[in-house]
A and B are shown apart, each in its own frame.
Chain A
């Protein structure tokens, strides 16, 4: 069984001109550069994978760049962040360097997680992970929000999850707890239309997801256009201010579509060429570029130079990863446990 009727979304209202005005040229260019950085990182890493430099699972964020780029720009790095295994972009946005991330993908000692986590497990001081179990990060993100409240700190916990995770028990249990306990948590469902190869309308019983589910938990739900960074920016700004003011959790559904298969080994045969072409027409980078060109912020030549610059950074990161040492086998057993500090408790 699957639904065939188109979903009726109520997108958060936004005005490109207004956002353009308030952000200014420099911040806009920074946002654009961040998206290019993610795109270039993913494309080069994919090729490294094809060349056998990277192993394991690999899930590219290509097509979804606007979402996390806008969210991090709005809320800043100093919140708690968590996401699924599709985690390369968020780590980059939160300040992990292309070098350490590429080295992690290569399994090197200089990697972001010392070569222990790989593609699905990237971290920063405020990024609780890349989580490999679908929906595993959801209660953990609520725990981070719980800590903020317990320690009387200002801030929010932002949890990204895919549409596939909406079917997991953690989603429902966590929303109940977060609402019950007034946790400052923003749950962002990146609906990229596919849970691996299963279309969202064959897996999730209702859409729009946030608009329908949020009220059942006594929460507010919003829908953003994930291909439009201006809409994402406006939406996240509103939601961030609301959660800071109310300490009430919210659910956001961001409608997007990944341009690749679920993972690098998935040729996405379940999606027609026409359907893929249709979503690529709304490439978030191209859409933002169009606006920047319209407003005379960026020329085609400048764009190409910027893109080349980002590509160079990733090429350098690949060189760094290639030249980095493998983890010494002697470190294999390190960090299974955190260091104990009480000699009496743990001699």
Chain B
């Protein structure tokens, strides 16, 4: 198969473009997606190709345009609703939580909401308290949402295409710091299934679980420990909800040790959920307590020194692994 070396942002653009070609009901709206070519250039060139009917600039009005997109999804269209940052989804949270997510159930299955909310999630470079939040833990507490958070270009493209074909509301969480990450991926169409984790590296001594940008951080730790003869099994969740606990549990039953890494805050986080499910499914296989490496319990500070301190990083992940392996 022919390959192409592309950035995550281009992989996302291809996914949207291919799905718009495939289905005339698919359109994208959001702040700066059209004439500006996207705040992070994910939609570069799309206005020119598809025109303003299907690539739509919105005013700075998240609650309004997210709600409008939910209404469009209920009445026959398949919107992709871009948030310039998922921090701004909080402005639209009522439409996501009380409307998009509840509609199918609450209406006795009369209406469905096939919509993808997408955009960058988590910290970027020194953007401080109001632009750095990881939203997955907050939204994962709401039944009815699908939450996807890919870590590389291959998964980003395949999962976004799957998300657009999904008949339910999807939060598709990207990462600003990763948009430029390059990877060789196939030219042409493929899908990555929703709800399947990926084993990034196989190992037998310890399981590392991560998603999104933290996968890259963990890969560095895998290499460091590999040089010492320690084989880490690294799992990229890819989809947060539905959670592929089977893949995680199978790994933990083999390695008997597990460190959970999450960019978001520690309290009530994804790591807490995955950790608890591990206890439910394979407590007897654990040789040590679980450990988690997450963002500390502070709003994100601006200063790069403080920012580095609160974020999970290679050193903290390595230390956690070493503590369990000693």
Using a CB–CB cutoff of 8 Å, the interface residues on chain A facing chain B are 80, 111-117, 121, 123, 125, 128-129, 131-133, 136, 138-144, 146-148, 150-151, 157, 169-170, 173-174, 176-177, 180, 334-342, 344-347
Using a CB–CB cutoff of 8 Å, the interface residues on chain B facing chain A are 27, 53, 58-59, 61, 63-77, 94-95, 98-99, 103-114, 143-144, 146, 161-163, 165-168, 191, 193-196
Q: Are A142 and B71 in contact (CB under 8 A)?
A: yes
The residue in B64, B144, B168 that gathers the most chain A C-beta atoms within 10 A of its C-beta is: B64
Q: Are A335 and B165 in contact (CB under 8 A)?
A: no
Pairs of residues from A and B, 10 with the lowest C-beta to C-beta distance, nearest first: A143-B71, A139-B67, A173-B64, A345-B162, A140-B71, A113-B108, A114-B108, A338-B112, A147-B75, A143-B72
Say how far A75's CB is from chain B's closest CB, in angstroms.
16
Chain B residues with Cβ below 8 Å from A157 are: 71
Q: Are B59 and A174 in contact (CB under 8 A)?
A: no
Q: Are B68 and A150 in contact (CB under 8 A)?
A: no
Q: Are B106 and A113 in contact (CB under 8 A)?
A: yes
Say how far A56's CB is from chain B's closest CB, in angstroms.
13
Say how far B149's CB is from chain A's closest CB, in angstroms.
16
Decide if the interface of chain A is mainly helix, strand, loop or mixed: loop
Q: Are A151 and B106 in contact (CB under 8 A)?
A: no
B99 (CB) vs chain A CBs: closest residue: A136
Whole-angstrom CA separation of A198 from B131 in the bound complex = 37
If A176-B61, A335-B105 touch, whether A140 touches B99 (CB-CB below 8 Å) is yes
Q: Are B105 and A116 in contact (CB under 8 A)?
A: yes
Q: Are B70 and A140 in contact (CB under 8 A)?
A: yes
Q: Are A342 and B166 in contact (CB under 8 A)?
A: yes
User: CB < 8 Å: which of A113, A174, A334 contacts B110?
Assistant: A113
New A-B pairs, 13, CB < 8 Å, besides A131-B99, A169-B64:
A113-B106, A113-B108, A116-B105, A139-B70, A140-B71, A143-B72, A146-B72, A173-B63, A335-B105, A340-B167, A344-B162, A345-B162, A345-B193
If A336-B104, A340-B166 touch, whether A177 touches B64 (CB-CB below 8 Å) is yes
Chain B residues with Cβ below 8 Å from A139 are: 63-68, 70-71, 95
A118 (CB) vs chain B CBs: closest residue: B106
Q: Are A128 and B194 in contact (CB under 8 A)?
A: no
Chain A residues with Cβ below 8 Å from B193 are: 344-347
Q: Are A151 and B107 in contact (CB under 8 A)?
A: no
5 of the cross-chain contacts (CB-CB < 8 Å) are A133-B94, A139-B70, A146-B68, A336-B104, A338-B113
Chain A residues with Cβ below 8 Å from B61 are: 173, 176-177
Whole-angstrom CA separation of A174 from B66 in the bound complex = 10
Say how far A292's CB is from chain B's closest CB, in angstroms.
36
Chain B residues with Cβ below 8 Å from A114 are: 108-109
Q: Are A338 and B167 in contact (CB under 8 A)?
A: yes
Say how far B53's CB is from chain A's closest CB, in angstroms.
7
Q: Are A170 and B64 in contact (CB under 8 A)?
A: yes
Whole-angstrom CA separation of A339 from B165 in the bound complex = 12
Say how far A284's CB is from chain B's closest CB, in angstroms.
29
Chain B residues with Cβ below 8 Å from A345 are: 161-163, 165-166, 191, 193-194
If A112-B108, A143-B75, A177-B68 touch, whether A169 touches B63 (CB-CB below 8 Å) is yes
If A147-B75, A177-B58 touch, whether A346 touches B67 (CB-CB below 8 Å) is no
Chain B residues with Cβ below 8 Å from A340 are: 166-168
User: CB < 8 Å: which of B72, B99, B108, B144 contacts A144?
Assistant: B72
If A177-B58, A342-B166 touch, whether A335 touches B72 (CB-CB below 8 Å) is no
Chain A residues with Cβ below 8 Å from B71 are: 128, 139-144, 146-147, 157
Chain B residues with Cβ below 8 Å from A342 are: 162, 165-166, 191
Whole-angstrom CA separation of A176 from B238 in the bound complex = 37
Q: Are A338 and B109 in contact (CB under 8 A)?
A: yes
Whole-angstrom CA separation of A131 from B95 in the bound complex = 11
Say how far A184's CB is from chain B's closest CB, in angstroms.
13
Whole-angstrom CA separation of A148 from B70 in the bound complex = 14
Say how far B159's CB is from chain A's closest CB, in angstroms.
9
User: CB < 8 Å: which of B73, B143, B165 contacts A143?
Assistant: B73
A129 (CB) vs chain B CBs: closest residue: B107
Whole-angstrom CA separation of A177 from B72 in the bound complex = 13
If A174-B64, A340-B167 touch, whether A150 touches B108 (CB-CB below 8 Å) is no
Whole-angstrom CA separation of A89 from B324 in the bound complex = 64
Whole-angstrom CA separation of A341 from B65 in the bound complex = 27
